Amino acid sequence: MQPKTHDTKHHDAHAPDHHELGFWQKYVFSTDHKVIGVQYGVTALIFMFFGFLLMMAMRWQIAYPGQPMPLVGGLLESILGDVASGGVMSSDLYNAFGAMHGTVMVFLAIVPLAFGAFGNLIIPLQIGAPDMAFPRLNMVSYQSYVVGGVIMMVSFFIPGGAAQAGWTSYSPLATLIPTDGQTYWLIGMIFLITSSLLGSVNVLATIIQLRAPGMNWMRLPFFVWAQFVTAFLLLLAFPPLEAAGVMQLMDKVFHTSFFLPTGLAVGGEFADISGGGSPLLWQHLFWFLGHPEVYVLILPALGIVCEILANNTRKPIWGYKSLVYSALLIGFLSFIVWAHHMYLTGMGSKISTFFQTTTMIISIPSVIILTCYFITLWGGSIRFNTPMLFALAFLPMFGIGGLTGLPLGFNFSDLHLHDSYYVIAHFHYVVAPGTIFALFAGIYYWFPKMTGRMMSEGLGKIHFWLSLLFMNLIFQPMFMQGMAGMSRRMADGGANYSQAVVGEGATLTDTIMHLNTTISWAAWGLALAQIPFIWNFFWSIRSGKKIESDNPWNATTLEWQTPTPPPHGNFVGPIEVHRGPYEYSVPGRSTDFTPQNEK
């Protein structure tokens, strides 16, 4: 079957129940999975940009501590007041920005983009469903996400500013900071968690119930499998954090002592609390979500990369089944590794060994997946278009992120590296040049499906090469800083600390300190590198090169077998699946790709 362009209008004429919806129903209160997907995507991209802005401001303070910020210093002072007096970032503001950078990036940007946006847009199309299983729930899920985001944003402007206890919000610190930022954070989180729960129920029900005839489990594209496991992680890992959030909210608002121990002293005096709580309980419940969350961040990225690799190597993915089982194993194991974030809490050596062992085991399926991807490249006739470049760069970047995690997984080496810049570099390698690159790849790859136009290849390549360069310039030096002993969360980038220990042999050398400046300039360079992308994104919606068929990449999966953009209800006629997801270059075929619905 040759790809052909379907006529959308023609389809509408055949759907008698279809009527024109008003603006609000069509774009704001829509129940169409594609519109909701785009809503998620655009909102999440805005939040991602915002989270990046917070970090850029912090990088100024790290590189040039105590100096007024150029360009935005005055602006921050006029908006936020005393915390930025004279355009200088105060420690309080630094803490707030740091906490909110993490929160925004994880809960408001990457998860919604990877799971909310790509999940919503692509899953129903790839499994041959007309929509998600519960369209109205889907809408509520998005709205709940927006409400959560708005609450988080509002918290910047309340007296005392946003939450300051880091994105991990460890108690008692989070409870004892007298301002209300943490309360807003907790209420915002409850909305975000609700959103994720509804989203994950929807995704799971959709994948289980709405697969087209013939789309059995082993014919699902790996992207769908990745989202399936992700949804399970969200479904079962988020509620304990919700419970913990409720308890911290009780601590904060009703002065209970869930996480406050007996005899807690603040400022030299006993706090007026009933006591009897356990600070470690918060850490356990937080990391019970926190670690699966890492896989929530990475699995959709692995899924996206898989689709793009298969498509652009023109080869079947190598080891499809081992990919699927690896993803399932990752999902399963990710629930029993969480305390490797807590080696320093003084847990016993037996339990510490247990978590160390599970942590080492979970790296095996991740390596299997990466290996399958590398082997897929072998002997392929690779097309180096922009999505493929991002997907290819993802492999070594994620590799670096993963391998540098091993020393953190061993409790003895973690004792030295814990809470240092090494940790920051490690997880950013996984998430920033890892997941975010995969998300960029996904945007470049599926853009034509949603708009009918290609994004510019030239601008895309500029965006790619500059991003790759600056990402590594930012995070590579952080490994050195971390190993040299620089702690994270220091508002002056370690300036005071390095002076305090001079002469005792443990000093942070000038070289290490100078890296702060290098990193900061690289971060601002990374911001410039995003300009081609932003321009490309908006310009291409109206003026990009029009695609000639519904299947511009000559792909096999079902989302390319619909009209462009897919109409309400997605498929023109009943669709039936006859083969696996990656039948590229099948011998004896006239084309080098065989769509799943072709007999």
**Which positions touch another protein (CB under 8 A)?**
15, 17-18, 129-131, 133-135, 137, 197, 200-202, 204-205, 208-210, 232, 235-240, 242-244, 246-247, 250, 254-258, 261-263, 270, 272-278, 280-281, 284-285, 288, 335-336, 339, 342, 345-348, 351, 354, 568-569
Closer CB to another protein, residue 37 or residue 65? 37
Cα dist. 382→90, 313, 385, 443, 552 in Å? 50, 4, 9, 19, 16
> Least Å distance between CB 265 and another protein?
8
Closer CB to another protein, residue 205 or residue 469? 205
Distance from C-alpha of 456 to C-alpha of 385, rounded to nearest angstrom: 10
Closer CB to another protein, residue 428 or residue 568? 568
Nearest CA-CA partner of 369 in 444, 298, 472: 298
Classify residue 538 as exposed, middle or buried by CB count within 10 Å of its CB (0-12, 13-18, 19+).
exposed
Closer CB to another protein, residue 330 or residue 555? 330
Closer CB to another protein, residue 210 or residue 473? 210
Distance from C-alpha of 414 to C-alpha of 408, rounded to nearest angstrom: 5
Q: Given the structure tokens 């785009």, which residue do they identify?
A: 38
- DSSP state string for 154-171: HTTTSTT-S--STTTT-T
> Least Å distance between CB 583 and another protein?
23
> Least Å distance between CB 474 and another protein?
35
> Least Å distance between CB 29 and another protein?
17
> Least Å distance between CB 257 and another protein?
6
Tokens of 176: 């004892």
> Least Å distance between CB 126 and another protein?
16
Closer CB to another protein, residue 215 or residue 468? 215
Closer CB to another protein, residue 74 or residue 261? 261
Closer CB to another protein, residue 101 or residue 219? 219
Q: 546 pairs with which residues across the strands? A: 453
Nearest CA-CA partner of 355 in 341, 342, 339: 339
> Least Å distance between CB 66 and another protein?
39
- What is the helix (H) or strand (E) element at residue 338, kind and residue range? none
Q: Say how many C-beta atoms besides its own lie within 10 A of residue 194's C-beta.
A: 18
Closer CB to another protein, residue 315 or residue 568? 568
> Least Å distance between CB 205 and another protein?
5
> Is 562 within 8 Å of 131 (Cβ atoms)?
no
> Least Å distance between CB 276 and another protein?
4
| CA 504 to the chain's CA centroid | 41
Distance from C-alpha of 488 to C-alpha of 490, rounded to nearest angstrom: 6
What are the helix and strand counts (H, E) for the chain?
23, 2
Distance from C-alpha of 598 to C-alpha of 215, rounded to nearest angstrom: 12
